[in-house]
Amino acid sequence: MRIALDAHGGDDAPNSVLAGLKLAAEKWPDISFTLIGTDDSLLKGNDLPNIQFHQVSEIILPEDEPVRSVRKKRDSSMVVGCQMVRSGEADAFISAGNTGALMASGLFYTGRMKGVDRPALSPVFPTLQNKGILVLDVGANPEAKASHLHQYALLGSVYTKYVLGIENPKVGLLNIGAENGKGTTLTKEAFDLLQRDSRFQFVGNVEAREVLYRPCDVLVCDGFSGNILLKSTEGVAKALFDRLKDVFTKNIFTKLAAGVLLPHLKTLKSEMDYKEHGGAPLLGLAGVIIKAHGSSDATAIFHAIRQARLFAGDNVIKQMEEHLHPTEGKAE
């Protein structure tokens, strides 16, 4: 297996990328890794034989306009990584860089899976059940159609089964109420499509307040709603832990209480930490492209690589295509 990584994506790149890459290269010596970047001295002193360097001349920056930068910077680490997946030089590509540019690169240079109109950005969302929930889409396609959400359900159920190891995953639809008939025209039309499809187990509408209790394994929504859900929950979690820190350092009594509760608080924080779940696959592309979190550290990069390994190794793309087109290639 061959996995390529963008050396320049992320807030702490290339340090976090290098550190996570080395952890993975030691863990899986049978995988061939390619680090794509502008400076070959990044691997100076590297003694791991399964890491090589591919030099490029350009970098897509966080502030770059996605489509324009992808078209102009064709020798950038992000574009070259997606081209490597398309050509077969790499089985997967990981970047923590500009999300819009990665999606554009994937569309232009890796291509869409047959039958998919709009690929989805699909992170595993931490929950209180010590298991994540796959949410798609969280920003790649803000103005979705009901047919797109239907495709997300198909893609997400296959990914959850083969990568996350959940047999017969439950699919829910993000909505403002649990009752049938709730929501906008989009969610009502999507509900009807999801309810009629026997290729996955649809459990109905899911309210945002229920998400952390994991009412389903796959949650589908338009990218606008999904992005608000993701960032709102991240913000609440950060604010809560910041407030707890203030409370537990207020005086000697609260510090003593903190000492007793610290192991449990660390466990809770770990369970709610995105780093443990890797990155967000761009489901619907014709190759394995993983978007790592912009603030990824070495642990997050390592888990993004673990995720790419499972995604590419189990040939999940083929399973998705067969799920989307179950009658193609079969004798009548």
Domain ranges of the chain: 1-116+284-332, 117-276
Superfamily of 1-116+284-332 according to CATH: Isopropylmalate Dehydrogenase (3.40.718.10)
Residue among 81, 99, 95 nearest 8 (CA): 95
Output the average pLDDT for the chain.
89
pLDDT band of residue 88 (cuts 50, 70, 90) is very high
Looking at this protein, which amino acid is placed at residue 152? Y
What pLDDT is attached to residue 25? 95
**Can you tell me the distance from the alpha carbon of 94 to that of 2, in angstroms, rounded to the nearest whole number?**
12
Check whether 79 has a pLDDT greater than 90: yes
How is residue 160 written in tokens? 């959850």
**Burial of 299: CB neighbours in 10 Å, binned 0-12, 13-18, 19+:** middle
What pLDDT is attached to residue 38? 94
Q: Are 281 and 130 in contact (CB under 8 A)?
A: no
Check whether 331 has a pLDDT greater than 50: no
**What mean pLDDT do residues 98-125 have?**
92
Check whether 288 has a pLDDT greater than 80: yes
DSSP 258-291: HHHHHHHHHHHHHHT-GGGG--EEEETBSSEEEE
Strand 201-206 with 120-121, pairing: unpaired
Strand 124-125 with 133-136, pairing: antiparallel
Handedness of CA 214, 220, 224, 227 (dihedral sign): positive
Q: Do domains 1-116+284-332 and 117-276 have the same CATH topology?
A: yes
Cα–Cα distances in Å, from 295 out to 277, 278, 301, 311? 14, 12, 10, 22
Check whether 186 has a pLDDT greater than 60: yes
pLDDT band of residue 323 (cuts 50, 70, 90) is confident
Helices (H), the chain: 15-27, 66-72, 77-87, 99-105, 146-162, 185-196, 223-248, 252-271, 298-313, 316-324
What pLDDT is attached to residue 256? 82
What pLDDT is attached to residue 329? 47
Check whether 304 has a pLDDT greater than 50: yes
**Can you tell me the distance from the alpha carbon of 57 to that of 320, in angstroms, rounded to the nearest whole number?**
35
Give CATH for domain 117-276: 3.40.718.10
Looking at this protein, which amino acid is placed at residue 321? E
How is residue 82 written in tokens? 């997606």
34 three-class SS: strand
219 three-class SS: strand
Q: What percent of the chain has pLDDT over 90?
A: 61
**Can you tell me the distance from the alpha carbon of 77 to that of 55, in angstroms, rounded to the nearest whole number?**
8
What is the reported pTM?
Answer: 0.87
Check whether 290 has a pLDDT greater than 50: yes
What pLDDT is attached to residue 272? 61
Check whether 270 has a pLDDT greater than 70: no
Looking at this protein, which amino acid is placed at residue 132? G
Per-residue pLDDT tens over the stretch 212-263: 889 999 999 999 999 999 888 888 878 887 888 888 888 887 888 878 877 7
**Can you tell me the distance from the alpha carbon of 4 to that of 308, in angstroms, rounded to the nearest whole number?**
10
124 strand-pairing partners: 134
Check whether 330 has a pLDDT greater than 60: no
Report the Cα 112 to chain-centroid distance in Å: 17
What pLDDT is attached to residue 11? 86
| Upstream peptide bond of 137 is cis (omega within 30 degrees of 0) | yes
Per-residue pLDDT tens over the stretch 112-146: 998 898 899 999 988 877 788 999 999 888 889 99
CA atoms in the 13 A half-sphere facing the CB of 220: 34
What pLDDT is attached to residue 316? 87
How is residue 89 written in tokens? 């030089």
Number of C-beta neighbours around residue 203 at 10 A: 16
Helices (H), 210-251: 223-248
How is residue 141 written in tokens? 């396609």
Residue among 273, 291, 325 nearest 127 (CA): 273
Per-residue pLDDT tens over the stretch 6-32: 999 788 889 999 999 999 999 999 999
121 three-class SS: strand
**Can you tell me the distance from the alpha carbon of 205 to that of 66, in angstroms, rounded to the nearest whole number?**
33
Number of C-beta neighbours around residue 16 at 10 A: 22
